[in-house]
Structure 1
């Protein structure tokens, strides 16, 4: 556990917030590609997915490695738009707001999902779970004026096809 606490402390620093958005996704994409979708480097610390969303402006597919919290109670996943505590919302959150149907790569399986932005009491309840799951989210939120976006991903698209619950 001492290693995890050290990682949490380091990931809460402003220096990490400057470097990580450039380094972590690039490493994750490379390892994911080389392992044919079976390994996500950052998932050695936290569960992770590769989100394929549709660009809000471009309409092009956008692949983004992200930490996630499995949402067993709802059979899906929670994504947090923390952007490592940087001022702006990450682009993938705008993509999901514009086009909520997406796909994730989860433990080597491609799963169609639908994203929904959590708000109000529902967001507050999930936020408590997220802080227990990964305490640095509190530092990220304290660092920015914006409310960090939290999404619930549920398997299957709006037509009810594809996917399956996390295992």
Structure 2
């Protein structure tokens, strides 16, 4: 899964390419936020996926859209708020 490094933090975005529903992994993370990740060349590590509150989500998602303009198209294609999670190493 792709992630965005913003201010030294890793974020993942549940865009589902603008579909009307979240990708299944969003429900999985909401139910159990404990994950194993491999970020860059780092070895696999335990982490927690923390869904961002709306104001922080909006700030981070604006940066995501600047870096990857396709996400603005996904946002325009759906009525839902596209969730953003920060991956925090445990």
Query: What's the TM-score, normalizing by structure 1?
Result: 0.50
What are the ranges of 5 or more consecutive residues in structure 1 without an aligned counterpart? 1-65, 157-167
> Counterpart of 2:22 in 1: which secondary structure?
coil
Structure-2 residue corresponding to 1:69: 4
Instruction: Flag the structure with more relative contact order, 1 or 2, with Cα contacts below 8 A and sequence separation at least 6.
Output: 2
CA offsets 1:71-121 (integer angstroms, 9 cap, x no match): 3x3x43100000111121001111111111111122352121111111221
Work out the CA distance in 1 between the residues paired with 2:39 and 2:24.
21
Work out the CA distance in 2 between the residues paired with 1:69 and 1:94.
20
Does the 8 A contact of 1:104 with 1:113 survive in 2?
yes
Of the three residues 112, 121, 132, the one matched with 2:55 is 121
Structure-1 residue corresponding to 2:33: 100
Query: What's the TM-score, normalizing by structure 2?
Result: 0.89
- 1:144 Cα deviation from its structure 2 partner: 0.8
Work out the CA distance in 2 between the residues paired with 1:113 and 1:96.
11
Runs of 4+ in 1 over 6 A off after TM superposition: none
Structure-2 residue corresponding to 1:144: 78
Structure-1 residue corresponding to 2:13: 80
Give the aligned CA root-mean-square deviation in angstroms.
1.3
Judging by fraction of residues, say which structure has more helix.
1
What are the ranges of 5 or more consecutive residues in structure 2 without an aligned counterpart? none
Higher radius of gyration, 1 or 2? 1
CA offsets 1:24-69 (integer angstroms, 9 cap, x no match): xxxxxxxxxxxxxxxxxxxxxxxxxxxxxxxxxxxxxxxxxx1110
Structure-2 residue corresponding to 1:42: none
